[in-house]
């Protein structure tokens, strides 16, 4: 294993071991108890900033803070301010751009790691925001999309098709006026074709990493299919070639094919080959992969189409268990994700 691969495995284990409570569910639970909740959302950042776009932090009385927007003295100062605002019980939403260096222009965060970030501060109140938070959860828990908008007048949610070619989070600033927009759809998605032990292990890990997981199989009464509580959906199909057209937003979706046999793998690949999936990987030993490729060529699959497939999927390592295979596959998906960001 190369040092680069080892770095990714360490990063993966760190992510997988963290407790990923749903941020908005926590907000909803606190509001239902009649508590105000102070939110900090990172609306924008530049390179080297400790807080990245999309990071979130909530503060409420009687519980520990949930989330992080970069840590350090910056976050400590925000926590102190949040407690004062919670005591006051009122606050007008605002944004703040903080610079992470000692010298130069701009409001300083107290940190020296370079870069800058724009934070949005908002006080959620039960009567004012309770229904909006429930709308956020409705869209996040459904397989649709909407836009969360926040400005000085409050927050609002509107159902809208996702902007797949644009950033998930935007901040518009004109003078003293500003508007924050966040697409309320999980852009981290994986479709697993096959519902065996490796599929179950990969579902569990990708769920821990914050992905929406969609599993497809032709077998309804297999234990690993029935036991999969990590997937957003487990769909039973008559033919694996049907799967591709049943997956929404292919541009955002990673596909991993891991069925029980070569014929089923080939059927699954035939169903996804012409769609713009973000990543398509195939699990298998080298002899199995060679047989899959041979059968695909017999189906008149071109070399250009074959080049879209990563086979075998996973970073090079000795993987002896479903859990180890899942780590290998997930690490490669994370590598591919980060390459696409640069």
Beta partners for 117?
Answer: 45, 98
Model pLDDT for residues 161-171, shown as the tens digit of each residue: 877 766 789 99
For residue 8, is pLDDT > 70?
no
| 14 part of a folded domain | no
Model pLDDT for residues 68-80, shown as the tens digit of each residue: 999 999 999 999 9
On whether both 145 and 265 belong to a single domain, the answer is no
For the sheet with 169-174, list strands across it: 154-159, 146-151, 177-183, 169-174
On whether both 216 and 107 belong to a single domain, the answer is no
On whether both 173 and 303 belong to a single domain, the answer is no
On whether both 178 and 194 belong to a single domain, the answer is no
| 177 part of a folded domain | yes
On whether both 61 and 108 belong to a single domain, the answer is yes
Average pLDDT for residues 204-214, to the nearest whole number? 94
For residue 118, is pLDDT > 60?
yes
On whether both 77 and 205 belong to a single domain, the answer is no
CATH number at residue 254: 3.40.50.720
On whether both 251 and 195 belong to a single domain, the answer is yes
Please report, to the nearest 10 degrees, the dihedral formed by the alpha carbons of residues 118, 19, 158, 124 taken in order. -70
Domain termination residue (choose one: 161, 183, 205): 183
For residue 21, is pLDDT > 90?
no
Task: Specify the pLDDT at position 4.
Answer: 53
Retrieve residue 229's tokens: 């509580």
SS (H, E, C) the chain: CCHHHHHHHHHHHHHHHCCCCCHHHHHHHHHHCCCCEEEEEEEEECCCCCCCCCCEEEECCCCCCEECCCCHHHHHHHHHHHHHHHHHCCCCCEEEEEECCCCCCCCECCCCCCCEEEEEEEEECHHHHHHHHHHHHHHHHCCCCEEEEEECCEEEEEECCCCCCCCCEEEEEECCEEEEEEECCCCCEEEEECCCHHHHHHHHHHHHCCCEEEEEECCCCCHHHHCCCCCCEEEECCCHHHCHHHCCCHHHEEEEECCCCHHHHHHHHHHHCCCCCCEEEECCCHHHHHHHHHHHHHCCCCHHHHCCEECCCCCCCCCCCHHHHHHHHHHHHHHHHHHHCC
Least confident span in 16-20, 213-217, 250-254: 16-20
| 89 part of a folded domain | yes
| 17 part of a folded domain | no
Strands 253-257 and 309-310: unpaired
What is the reported pTM? Answer: 0.73
Average pLDDT for residues 76-97, to the nearest whole number? 97
Average pLDDT for residues 233-240, to the nearest whole number? 97
Model pLDDT for residues 275-324, shown as the tens digit of each residue: 999 899 999 999 999 999 999 999 999 999 999 999 999 998 888 899 99
On whether both 65 and 148 belong to a single domain, the answer is yes
- Best CA proximity match to 267, nearest among 225, 205, 217, 323: 217
Task: Specify the pLDDT at position 143.
Answer: 67
On whether both 246 and 121 belong to a single domain, the answer is no
Task: Specify the pLDDT at position 340.
Answer: 62
On whether both 247 and 176 belong to a single domain, the answer is no
Structural domain count, the chain = 2
Task: Specify the pLDDT at position 2.
Answer: 54
Q: Give the domain range for residue 81.
A: 34-183
On whether both 247 and 316 belong to a single domain, the answer is yes
Domain termination residue (choose one: 162, 183, 204): 183
Least confident span in 19-28, 176-185, 296-305: 19-28
pLDDT class of 9 with cuts at 50, 70, 90:
very low
| 28 part of a folded domain | no
| 18 part of a folded domain | no
CB-based contacts of 32, cutoff 8 Å, min separation 6 = 126, 130
| 15 part of a folded domain | no
Please give the mean pLDDT across all residues of the chain. 90
| 25 part of a folded domain | no
Domain termination residue (choose one: 144, 160, 183): 183
Residue scoring higher pLDDT (124 or 18): 124
On whether both 235 and 135 belong to a single domain, the answer is no
């Amino acid at each position: 294993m190369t040092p680069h691969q080892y770095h990714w495995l360490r990063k993966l284990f760190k992510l997988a071991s963290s407790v990923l409570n749903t941020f908005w569910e926590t907000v909803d639970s606190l509001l239902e108890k009649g508590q105000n909740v102070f939110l900090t959302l990172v609306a924008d950042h530049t390179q080297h900033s400790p807080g990245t776009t999309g990071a979130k932090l909530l503060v409420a009385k009687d519980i520990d803070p949930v989330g992080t927007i970069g840590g350090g003295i910056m976050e400590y100062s925000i926590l102190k301010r949040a407690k004062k605002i919670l005591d006051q019980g009122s606050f007008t939403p605002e944004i703040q751009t903080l610079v992470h260096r000692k010298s130069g222009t701009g409001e300083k965060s107290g940190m020296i790691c370079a870069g800058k970030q724009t934070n949005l501060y908002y006080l959620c109140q039960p009567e004012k925001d309770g229904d909006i938070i429930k709308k956020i959860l409705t869209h996040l828990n459904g397989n649709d999309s909407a836009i969360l908008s926040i400005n000085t007048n409050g927050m609002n949610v509107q159902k809208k098709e996702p902007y797949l070619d644009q950033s998930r989070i935007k901040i518009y600033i004109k003078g003293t006026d500003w508007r924050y927009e966040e697409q309320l759809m999980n852009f981290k998605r994986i479709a697993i074709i096959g519902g065996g032990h490796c599929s179950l292990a990969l579902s569990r890990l990708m769920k821990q990493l914050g992905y929406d997981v969609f599993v497809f199989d032709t077998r309804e009464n297999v234990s690993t299919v029935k036991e999969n509580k990590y997937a957003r959906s487990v769909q039973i199909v008559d033919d694996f070639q049907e799967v591709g057209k049943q997956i929404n937003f292919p541009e955002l979706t990673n596909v991993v094919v891991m069925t029980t046999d070569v014929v089923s793998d080939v059927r699954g690949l035939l169903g996804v080959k012409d769609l713009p999936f973000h990543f398509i990987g195939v699990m298998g030993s080298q002899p199995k992969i060679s047989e899959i490729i041979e059968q695909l060529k017999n189906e008149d699959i071109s070399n250009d189409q074959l080049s879209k497939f990563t086979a075998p999927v996973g970073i090079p390592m000795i993987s002896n268990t479903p859990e180890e295979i899942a780590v290998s596959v997930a690490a490669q998906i994370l590598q591919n994700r980060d390459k696409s960001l640069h």
